[in-house]
Amino acid sequence: MEIYGIDHVELYVGDAKQAAFYLAHAFGLQVHGQGGPETGLADQRSLLLRESAVQIVLTSGLASTHPAAAYVQRHGDGVAVVGLEVDNASVAYTELLARGAESVAEPVTYTDGQETTVVIAEVAGFGDVIHRLVERHGPRREFLPGAIQITEPSKGPDEKLFSEIDHLAICVPSGQLKPTVEFYENVFGFLPIFDEYIEVAGQGMESTVVQSPSKHVTFTLIEPDPNRRPGQINDFLSWHAGAGVQHIALRTSDIVEAVSTLKERGVNFLASPSAYYRALPDRVGEVETPIEALEELGILVDRDHWGQLLQIFTESMHVRRTLFLEIIERRGAMTFGSGNIKALYEAKERELQGVEV
C-alpha cells in the first residue's frame, strides 16, 4: 500500500455556502461542484472547491441528526476528513485494518457509467477526524461521480495562488503525541522526519512531523507540555474540544504575491517584530526577496538542510479561534526549520493576547 498524497480535506461547517464564499473570494479557490439530497447525500449540502491540486469539500448538515451537525456543535467548524490518495482503496483498507486501524466505512464505488470510477473507504484517524482512502480512475474533472455534481467553476479571482496542500498541523492532548506518532508509523507506514520542542512565553510544546514515504502527506503533530504554563495548544484543545487540525498549509510558488493579494482582499495575517527581520540574514543567509518586503508583509524565512522556506499564518477565521491557514513557499527546503516554528507560535501568541475581533 502506498499513500501518494492528500486527495482532499473535508470540513464540517455551520454554513457551507458562506464558508465557500469566503474561500472563493478571499483565497481564490473555485467552487467546482456540489451535492445534497438531490444527488443522494441525505440531510447534507456539500460544496467542492478546487485550485490546482488543492481540493476542499465543505459540508453542512441539513438536519440535526447528520454527523456534520453533531461535529459542528462539538468542535465548531473544522476538518473532519483527510482524504488520502491510494492506488487501490480496498487493498489499502484491508491492510490498514490488519495493522490495527478502526473501520469507519467499507469500500464503496462511485461511477459515472463511462470512464470515471472512484472507490472510497474510511478508517479512523485522530480525535473525530477520519481518513478517507481515495482511488481514482479516469479524468480528474469528476470528484465523486453521482454524489458531487460538477459545475462550471464559480466566477471569482482567477489567478492561481496555490498548488497543493503542503501539510496539516494537528494538536493532540498531552500524552497523546507518542501514541499518535506510533499510530501513523505502524498503521500507515509514515516516517518521523522532524522533532522539535518549542518554548513560547513560558509555554512548552512538543512536536513531531510524520510523513508518508511518498513525501506528499505531511502531518505536524503537536502536544502541550503539561509541566509548563498552559498556553495556545491547550486553548486550541479546549476551544476545539479535543484533538483536531489546527492549520492547513497551502503551498504557493510566490508567497509575496499570494500574501499581497490576500491582504488586499481583507485576509488578516499574523505579524512579527522587526527584531526578527534584523536577525534574519545571520540566521538563514542571503534571501532572494528583499527583507523589507518580507517585513512589510510579515513573512517568515527559515532553512533546512536542503534550502529555504517562507511561511506565514493567517488569523483564525472562526469564532472559536481554532482552525487557520498557513501559506508556505519552499525554495529547496524539504522539511521545516526550528526558527520559524518558534516565530510562528510567538506570532500566534501575540494574536491571542491581542484585542478580540
Note the residues at the interface with Fe ion (CB under 5 A). 169, 249, 326
How many CB atoms lie under 10 A from the CB of residue 263?
Answer: 14
118 or 312: whose CB is closer to Fe ion? 312
**Strand pairing report for 130-137 and 149-150:** unpaired
CB of 254 to Fe ion, least distance (A): 18
Q: How far is the CB of 164 from Fe ion (least distance, A)?
A: 14
Nearer to Fe ion, 31 or 237 (CB): 237
By C-beta, is 119 or 170 nearer to Fe ion? Answer: 170
Q: How far is the CB of 333 from Fe ion (least distance, A)?
A: 12
Q: Say how far apart CA 120 and CA 118 lie, in whole Å.
A: 7
* Long-range contact set of residues 285-291: C-beta below 8 Å, sequence gap at least 24: 288/331, 289/256
262's enclosing H/E stretch is helix 255-264
**Residue 169 or 317 with smaller CB distance to Fe ion:** 169
Minimal distance, residue 250 CB to Fe ion, in Å: 10
User: Residue length, the chain?
Assistant: 357
- Distance of closest approach, residue 295 Cβ to Fe ion, in angstroms: 20
CA dist list (Å): 196 to 9, 193, 208, 222, 332: 26, 10, 6, 9, 20
Cα-trace Rg, the chain = 20
CB 38 to Fe ion: min, Å? 38
Which residue, 19 or 249, has its beta carbon nearer to Fe ion? 249
SS3 category, 94:
helix
| Residue nearer to Fe ion on the CB measure, 48 or 169 | 169
73 CA to centre of own chain: 21
